[in-house]
Amino acid sequence: MADIYSQFMYYEEKEFGIRQQIENMIGKREYEVFKNARKYIYEPGFFRNAPVMNDSVEAMKALNDRYEVFIVSAAMEFPNSLLEKHEWLGEHFPFLSWQQVVFCGLKTVVRGDIMIDDHYKNLDSFIGQTLLFTQPHNFGQQDKTHTRVETWGEIINLLL
Amino acid sequence: MADIYSQFMYYEEKEFGIRQQIENMIGKREYEVFKNARKYIYEPGFFRNAPVMNDSVEAMKALNDRYEVFIVSAAMEFPNSLLEKHEWLGEHFPFLSWQQVVFCGLKTVVRGDIMIDDHYKNLDSFIGQTLLFTQPHNFGQQDKTHTRVETWGEIINLLL
């Protein structure tokens, strides 16, 4: 839902005047790509002002009309992100209620029928259908157990 | 883990100089018992300074040594409680890591083998063993589907 890569690129460009190419990020974790990533995520506003992914609002609205949707976000590692993510959701996804939001550490604790996530560690422990949302860090990895999707439009085609 | 009733009683006594008896709270929701409950929970510090239940630290420590424990707290309705609950856990239960904490709206989204909770609505939707922790609001209700426990000591006796 949030375009965290764009946010990292924006912060890095602001600090160093350079803008890395997506091709250089493939298969690497955010902390390997953006050398000050850990600093950026502790800056007030990093999560609050993150851009929204293309089509994610319309897709979530459509999914929310048809499914019982929960937003599960790994927010516990960065307590400053808790309120920022809450406010961000309220601004961009006002049709989602507080009942539908989960901030957790490990996502192993959630259950459901379908999980959409960009991390193997989250999908691997999930019991149900799993959609791997392509991000530079997971790109190129071969895996037959999850269905790879590249855009929110693809998710809508699959699920609606 | 947190003794929320004591916290409500403390706030009410501070405001009105009265201290209600537990006998008058039986079967009633907090908002029926404490007429300014909704005001208190929005006051900064209400959750941060809540007292810890008797024996809950020792019990959680023992459970944490033996089980994979998750703390699941309905925190989303009151966003100001997010950071306060996080800090409260860090102070009183420092042996629990951020990976083990879940702040949610509806608890229907979590899975596990055993749930300990004081609300029927949370236990009723859980798939697994359920322990109903006695609190004034749930007292007196008859129910055969959950195992009632009155203290953390009883939980230890049951699970360890």
Nearest to B104 among A82, A97, A102 (CB): A102
Name the closest residue on chain B to residue A78, using Cα atoms.
B98
Residue A51 lies in a domain: no
Q: What is the mean pLDDT of chain A?
A: 95
Q: What is the complex's ipTM, to 2 decimals?
A: 0.91
User: Per-residue pLDDT tens for B84-95?
Assistant: 999 999 999 999
Which two tokens mark A81? Answer: 């992100």
Chain B residues with CB under 8 Å of A128 CB are none
Across B20-46, average pLDDT: 93
Examine the pLDDT at B15 and tell me if it is beyond 90.
yes
Q: Angle at the Cα of A12 (from A7 to A17), degrees rounded to 5?
A: 130
What is the tens place of the pLDDT at every residue in A40-76? Answer: 999 999 999 999 999 999 999 999 999 999 999 999 9
Quick: pLDDT tens for A108-119: 999 999 999 999
Q: Is the pLDDT of residue A4 over 90?
A: yes
Decide if pLDDT at A140 tops 90. Answer: no
How many CA atoms are closer than 13 Å to the CA of B55, on its beta-carbon side? 11
Contact B101/A102, CB-based, under 8 Å? Answer: no
B76–A86 CB contact, under 8 Å:
yes
Average pLDDT over residues B10-14: 97
Is there a single domain that holds both residue B28 and residue B61?
no
Could you tell me if residue B32 is left (phi over 0), alpha (psi between -120 and 50 degrees) or otherwise beta?
alpha
Q: With CB atoms and an 8 Å threshold, state whether A83 touches B86.
A: no
Q: Do A105 and B83 touch (CB under 8 A)?
A: no
Whether residues B37 and B62 fall in one domain: no
Beta bridge partners of B52: B2
Which residue does chain B place closest to A90, by CA atoms? B79
Residue A152: its pLDDT value, please? 98
A36 and A60 co-located in one domain: no
Q: Do A84 and A117 share a domain, yes or no?
A: yes
Q: Residue A33 sits in which domain range?
A: 4-41
Average pLDDT over residues B142-146: 82
Which chain B residues are within 8 Å of A79, Cβ to Cβ? 83, 86-87, 98
Identify the bridge partners of residue A124 per DSSP, sorted by sequence position.
none
Whose tokens are 């005001």? That residue is: B39
Q: Are residues A15 and A63 in the same domain?
A: no
Percent of chain B with pLDDT strictly greater than 90 = 91
Please check the confidence at residue A14 and state whether its pLDDT lies above 80: yes
Are B82 and B19 in the same domain?
Answer: no
User: Distance between CA B157 and CA A152 in Å, rounded?
Assistant: 50
By Cβ distance, the residue of B77, B98, B110 closest to A98 is B77
